[in-house]
Chains A and B, each alone.
Chain A
Amino acid sequence: MPKLARLNEEAAPRRPRRAKLSLVGVLGEILVTAGVLVLLFLGWQVWLNDIIVGAQQTTAANELAEKWDDAPATSAPAATATPDPAVEAPVPPVDPGEPVIAARPATAESFANLIVPRLGADYRRPIAEGVGFNVLNNRTTGVGHYPQTQMPGEVGNFAIAAHRTTYGAPFHDINTLLVGDNIYVETADGWYQYVYRGTEYVRPTGVGVLEPVPQTAGMAATDRVITLTSCHPYFSSAERVIAYGVFETWFPRAGGPPAEIATLVEAGAN
């Protein structure tokens, strides 16, 4: 049977040939691996890491709020009337009076939380003093306060900055704000409610947005505004997106959080 013998002969050398590593084959596999790694890194950088860091920033914000609950600020106004524990009456919509202005925090110190329901039902990020990368590129802060601008509730401009992409991207969806949306700034003293009014796009040198009256240098402020700055477009430093809000009212911590964010504040405390 010469035919069968020849078949066996051909089949035999197959195994050792497959075991050989060819230079081109290895090179090709390394290149494919490198390509996959680059794609994985991009997915991590623009999507996965923002979710991870965003959650860490929210955790830090919740811990901050817990600290304030445990030790109320000394600057908080004394309760005018001690509530009778026997009568569990709903808090009437009383005028909370002039908002308490907190003392200026130290650089890089977390002194407030930003709560914006439009940006997510559990959106709560810490605000720290200063707009350096030590604050903005940070897993426990993320939002920075321009030190030359005013404090929450103060007459003038409370201006803050945060990333729109990478490092938790606190302002990723800043362009989705709608007129009338509430922007809450939570501090040891309570919750300052601002109402979103509008957005503008400026050049990176547009420091006018930080004026006590935005874009109006030298004018004495009579209103309390909040200014949010971030980069525009996504992943670019070409322009800045600026969102403005106007102060509406404030809620002293003793009186509890406003209804819109009560669920978030309670969930964060657990």
Chain B
Amino acid sequence: MYAALWRLLPGPLWVRIITAIVVVVAVLAALVVWVFPLVNELFVPPEVTVGE
């Protein structure tokens, strides 16, 4: 799958490398900014208060 995606990238080798890095960084940024906070809502954080 990743090999196929790699072959889809246009241009010479160095352009492909730069494109791949940009895509990976964009995916990571999207995860941190949107996906992870949404997933985090599914977790119940530990209770920190005392109460009956």
Chain A: residues with CB nearer than 8 A to chain B?
A: 18-19, 21, 25-26, 29-30, 37, 40-41, 44-45, 48-49, 131, 133, 136-137, 144, 146, 161-167, 171, 202, 204-207, 209-210, 229-231, 235-237, 240, 242
Contact with A along B27-40 (1 / 0, CB 8 A): 01001100010011
**Option from A21, A44, A205 in Cβ contact (under 8 Å) with B50:** A205
Flag if B7 contacts A136 (CB, 8 Å). no
Give the interface centre of A171, A205, A236, A240 by most chain B CB atoms within 10 Å: A240
Chain A residue at minimum C-beta to C-beta distance from B31: A40
Flag if A161 contacts B48 (CB, 8 Å). yes
Bound CA–CA A41/B40 (angstroms): 9
Flag if A163 contacts B49 (CB, 8 Å). no
Flag if A48 contacts B48 (CB, 8 Å). no
> CB-CB < 8 A to B45: which residues of A?
133, 136-137, 163, 165-167
Contact with A along B7-33 (1 / 0, CB 8 A): 100000000000000000000100110
Bound CA–CA A207/B45 (angstroms): 20
Flag if A231 contacts B46 (CB, 8 Å). yes
Flag if B47 contacts A231 (CB, 8 Å). yes
> CB-CB < 8 A to A41: which residues of B?
31, 36, 39
Bound CA–CA A165/B51 (angstroms): 19
Bound CA–CA A40/B1 (angstroms): 21
Chain A residue at minimum C-beta to C-beta distance from B7: A19
What is the number of residues of chain B that contact chain A, defined by CB distance less than 8 Å?
Answer: 20
**Option from A19, A25, A162, A209 in Cβ contact (under 8 Å) with B48:** A162
Bound CA–CA A145/B45 (angstroms): 18
CB of A210, distance to nearest CB on chain B (Å): 7
Flag if A163 contacts B52 (CB, 8 Å). no
Chain B residue at minimum C-beta to C-beta distance from A38: B39
Flag if B52 contacts A229 (CB, 8 Å). no
> CB-CB < 8 A to A25: which residues of B?
1
Give the interface centre of B39, B45, B46 by most chain A CB atoms within 10 Å: B46
Chain B residue at minimum C-beta to C-beta distance from A132: B49
A-B contact pairs, 9 of them (CB 8 A): A37-B31, A144-B49, A163-B48, A205-B50, A205-B52, A207-B51, A207-B52, A229-B50, A240-B49
Flag if B1 contacts A240 (CB, 8 Å). no
Chain A residue at minimum C-beta to C-beta distance from B37: A49
Flag if B40 contacts A205 (CB, 8 Å). no
Bound CA–CA A30/B51 (angstroms): 45
Closest 5 CB pairs between A and B? A231-B46, A237-B47, A237-B46, A29-B1, A26-B1
CB of A131, distance to nearest CB on chain B (Å): 5
- Asked, given contacts A44-B32, A49-B36, whether A229 binds B2 with beta carbons under 8 Å apart, the answer is no
CB of B44, distance to nearest CB on chain A (Å): 9
